[in-house]
Amino acid sequence: MLAGNSRTGNASMDLVELHTARLLLRNWRADDLEAFAALNADAQVMRYFPDRLERAQSDALAARIQAHIARFGFGPWVLELRGQPGLLGILGLQQVLFDSAFTPAVEIGWRLLPAYWRQGLASEAARAALEFAFVRLNLPQVLAFTVPANLPSQALMQRLGMQRDPGEDFLHPLLPRDHPLRPHVLYRLSRNQWLNGPAAS
């Protein structure tokens, strides 16, 4: 699933480009911002996030993602179908940038347009990202978290072999104390589990 470096300009911001049977996981381009804004404004996509994003907020998020890539050498990729250019979502790895009992840590996360749901694309991309995490980055584990009501994301975490300990569920520190989305569930996948589990198959 792994391929060579993708050169898109500033070498410090390059991601390793990944390929799967149907997908290209690639670096960001300026012409991705409009589609990214549509993703972040979609009510279905943002159902389990505090708010949908306005265009300026979406562009600011894209800038933060690219700053993360420049700082750490990895981050969320742009997803597109092979042979069909255009952002259909994002998926990737990022440092957890808040303090918690489980930090420091790296999480995997995703966000796809509804037209591409229930086709196995997120699973396909996530397996490539986990291979990158455990083979290229040699990470000891990868985390994922979401709100309890987000059962589709939890189902994907489980398909990837991630495991939840209810004792590790937490209140998201970046949300107000009374926010209904503050409770989160936490899933973990260790490198050893990945080597022997469904995410490596």
pLDDT tens digits, residue range 17-34?
Answer: 999 999 999 999 999 999
Can you count the helices (H) and strands (E) in the chain?
5, 10
Q: Identify the pLDDT of residue 198.
A: 57
In the chain, what is the straight-line distance between the N-terminal and C-terminal CA atoms, in Å? 12
Q: Which residues contact 73 (CB under 8 A, 6 or more apart)?
A: none
The first and second tokens of residue 52, run together, are 């949908």
- Tell me which residue range forms the domain holding 174: 2-200
pTM of the model: 0.89
Q: Is 112 exposed, middle or buried (0-12, 13-18, 19+ CB in 10 A)?
A: buried
Q: Identify the pLDDT of residue 13.
A: 55
Q: Identify the pLDDT of residue 15.
A: 86
- Those residues of the chain that have pLDDT short of 50 are 1-12, 199-201
Q: Identify the pLDDT of residue 197.
A: 75
**Number of structural domains in the chain:** 1
CATH of the domain at 167: 3.40.630.30
- Looking from the CA of 99 toward its CB, the CA atoms found within 13 Å total 0
Q: Identify the pLDDT of residue 89.
A: 98
